[in-house]
Amino acid sequence: MKTFEELGLVPDIVRAISELGYESPMPVQEEVIPYLLGNNNEVIALAQTGTGKTAAFGLPLLQEIQISNTQPQAVILCPTRELCLQIADDLVDYSKYLTGLKALPVYGGSSIESQIKALRRGVHVIVATPGRLIDLINRKTVDLKFVRNVVLDEADEMLNMGFSESIDEILSFVPPERNMLLFSATMPEGIARIAKKYMRTPKEIIIGRKNEGAQNVRHLYYMVNARDKYLVLKRIADYNPNVYGIIFCRTRKETQEIADLLIKDGYNADSLHGDLSQAQRDYVMQKFRLRNVQLLVATDVAARGLDVDDLTHIINYGLPDDVESYTHRSGRTGRAGKTGTSIAIIHLREKHKIKAIEKIINKKFEQGTIPSGKQICERQLFSFVDKIEKVSVNEEEIQNFMPSIYRKLDWLDKEDVIKRLISLEFNRLIDYYQEAGEIESPQEGGLKREKDNTLRKTGKGNGKGTGRASEAGFSRLFINLGKSDGIRPQSVIGLLNDNISGRKVDIGRIDLLKNFSFFEVAEVDRDRVIQNLDGIKAFGRKIAVESAQPSPSDSRKKQIEGKDRKFSGEKFRSNDSWKRKDEREAKPERKKSEWKTKEKKGKTAKK
């Protein structure tokens, strides 16, 4: 293995990084640094987050800077403010002994006036988000004619965020003979397009495999019913007492809701998403970096560029739509030779996503077993005892208090003291899991059952369940969802699978009408289905489910769906708004000509 000196770095840079704890180059640094120190060399480097990419491009860039020229000579573009600040801070640390070298972060959400003042005083390296840099260019406060190197960091994410046109505009102000360096964790088609459009003969340096997951990350998934996702999240957190990680959610709303629930339940958590002001985001990130926040609930965009050391877990509360996003998420743990765990909480219909991710990252997922209450309590207790064993005791300060404490506790023996200490810390946790019961994972056969139920609905298959409810031991239920809500037979089956625990519900015929539907379930499951579905929220509305009469005849069904729709013979709630709406919609609309004719007749009668 080579040293940093052997890579060609000058003593002042080597001295600075040595003080930061850099002992030997990481693979991406060993490949990239000597190549960039050559002349007119362009690079596409593919490496996971946390593999030392910033130093790989930052150290040779700093060495190439002519400090006597105070005009910008290098531009580093990145997708988010957090990454922008992180890179700028690293460059400042690397250039500690390069007297006079200045690197400036420019980004939205901060005073543009202060950034303009700093630019006027002279800057050698600009680390920028595309939007703010374009704003400064348009104000004619930054001149890029001396730029020799342009770096696109997290290039794939910048394309995902729609910065392609902004990058085009920025590069139009940079000399055509400049070098371009692309650093990315994944290699989507957009990266290849940029390379073809803007780069001459770039060298492609790949650390690992394209789009491959980080080597030190263990990948787990927990198969759960949709209604149990949050309860399983709590169990994962409780089962890992020293967890320090990020929980990824798909939307801003879900992110805030999950963070609020965790805080309410006593977890050391906070949220990070686009609806927060910049000051709020800074405050949350400061708390997280200081470990005053143990669980950060975030969206992909808000968390892009976060460089936080020693994360133990990444938890995917919802899997992303693309594999690249999963790679970015999981790559935030297991850094710098340390191990980490990436967990996905999924339901049956997401199993195919796990298979797709495995193919791309070249790693297998392990299926986790939801921890029982007993296992969690045991894990927490031993973690607490371990902390007691390792606690640092200030003998001098505490010694003065010990005689009084001994006298106070003299009536208790050692076992009593230990029991009370444990109870003081864990009574709430133990009581919760005694009451909570255990969470059942959905059976893998659930998908087959779904298919069987669909066949039963259409009257095909093995012939079972094709009769009427009264003939086959089935009960007929009403639900206030219909075709206008976009539901299909599979939607009804999904509602049952996701919201009813325990033994699978046997489903019979499903009849979808415009604004409501009927479905059959085994009589033994009727009350359980009504209890679990009635009143929940789905498809953007509150669900109503109740018993109905046996299936009507075809002529009766036509009457129900027809324009008079009296609902006689069926059991409905007389005061429900959906009924009134259905009755209104069932009435035929009168043409304007009919209203005019009626109005004219009325006037004639008055005369």
57: region left, alpha or beta (phi > 0 left; psi from -120 to 50 alpha): alpha
Q: Token match 């002529």: residue? A: 555
CA separation for the pair 102, 94 (Å, rounded): 11
pLDDT at position 23 over 90? no
The whole-number average pLDDT for the span 120-148 is: 93
Identify the pLDDT of residue 305: 59
pLDDT at position 347 over 90? no
Identify the pLDDT of residue 75: 96
Q: Token match 């070098």: residue? A: 179
Identify the pLDDT of residue 598: 46
Closest CA relative to residue 38, chosen from 198, 179, 147: 179
pLDDT at position 454 over 80? no
Identify the pLDDT of residue 240: 93
Identify the pLDDT of residue 135: 93
- Residue 304's pLDDT band, with cuts at 50, 70 and 90, is low
The whole-number average pLDDT for the span 286-303 is: 87
pLDDT at position 600 over 50? no
Which CATH code, of 3.30.70.270, 3.40.50.300, 3.30.9.10, 3.40.50.1000, is assigned to 11-206?
A: 3.40.50.300
Identify the pLDDT of residue 302: 67
Specify the pairing of strand 507-512 against strand 149-153. Answer: unpaired
pLDDT at position 241 over 80? yes
What distances in angstroms separate CA 399 from CA 395, 456, 607, one per listed residue? 6, 76, 109
* pLDDT tens-digit series, residues 97-108: 999 999 999 988
Whether 217-370 and 11-206 are alike in CATH topology: the answer is yes
Identify the pLDDT of residue 460: 38
* pLDDT tens-digit series, residues 156-167: 777 767 788 888
Identify the pLDDT of residue 49: 61
The greatest distance separating any two alpha carbons of the chain, rounded to the nearest whole angstrom, comes to 109
Q: What is the dihedral of CA 582, 585, 587, 592, to 10 degrees?
A: 160
* pLDDT tens-digit series, residues 266-279: 899 999 988 888 78
pLDDT at position 548 over 90? no
Range with the poorest average pLDDT among 296-305, 355-364, 367-376, 513-522: 296-305
pLDDT at position 179 over 80? yes
Average pLDDT, the chain: 80
Identify the pLDDT of residue 33: 92
5 DSSP assignment: T
CA separation for the pair 223, 101 (Å, rounded): 53
- Residue 188's pLDDT band, with cuts at 50, 70 and 90, is low
Q: Which CATH superfamily is domain 446-586 in?
A: RRM (RNA recognition motif) domain (3.30.70.330)
What distances in angstroms separate CA 369 from CA 51, 154, 313, one per listed residue? 31, 35, 17
> Which carries the bigger pLDDT value, residue 33 or residue 493?
33
- Residue 214's pLDDT band, with cuts at 50, 70 and 90, is low
* pLDDT tens-digit series, residues 79-95: 888 788 889 999 999 99
- Residue 572's pLDDT band, with cuts at 50, 70 and 90, is very low
For the chain, give the percent of residues with pLDDT over 90: 30
Report which listed range, 58-72, 545-559, 590-604, is most confident: 58-72
Note the helical H segments in 172-225: 189-198
Identify the pLDDT of residue 74: 95
Tell me if residue 400 falls in helix, strand or coil.
coil
Identify the pLDDT of residue 581: 40
pLDDT at position 397 over 80? yes
CB of 486 within 8 A of CB of 337? no
Query: How much is the CA Rg of the chain, to the nearest whole Å?
Result: 32
111: region left, alpha or beta (phi > 0 left; psi from -120 to 50 alpha): beta
CB of 125 within 8 A of CB of 150? no
Identify the pLDDT of residue 108: 84
CA angle 196/201/203 to nearest 5° reads 105
Q: What are phi and psi of 143, to 5 degrees?
A: -120, 125
CA separation for the pair 62, 565 (Å, rounded): 78
Beta bridge partners of 364: none
CA separation for the pair 578, 173 (Å, rounded): 60
The two three-digit tokens of residue 123, written as one number: 């800057």
CA separation for the pair 412, 423 (Å, rounded): 15
- Residue 579's pLDDT band, with cuts at 50, 70 and 90, is very low
CA separation for the pair 107, 112 (Å, rounded): 8
Closest CA relative to residue 278, chosen from 79, 458, 81: 81
CA separation for the pair 505, 499 (Å, rounded): 11
Hey, what CATH topology would domain 217-370 get? Rossmann fold (3.40.50)
The DSSP line for 520-560 is EEEGGGHHHHHHHHTT-EETTEE--EEE-PSPPPHHHHHHH
pLDDT at position 260 over 90? yes
Q: What is the pTM of this model?
A: 0.55
pLDDT at position 567 over 70? no
For the chain, give the percent of residues with pLDDT over 70: 80
* pLDDT tens-digit series, residues 321-331: 777 778 878 87
Give the per-residue SS3 of 317-332: CCCCCCHHHHHHHHCC
Domain limits of the chain? 11-206, 217-370, 374-389+399-436, 446-586
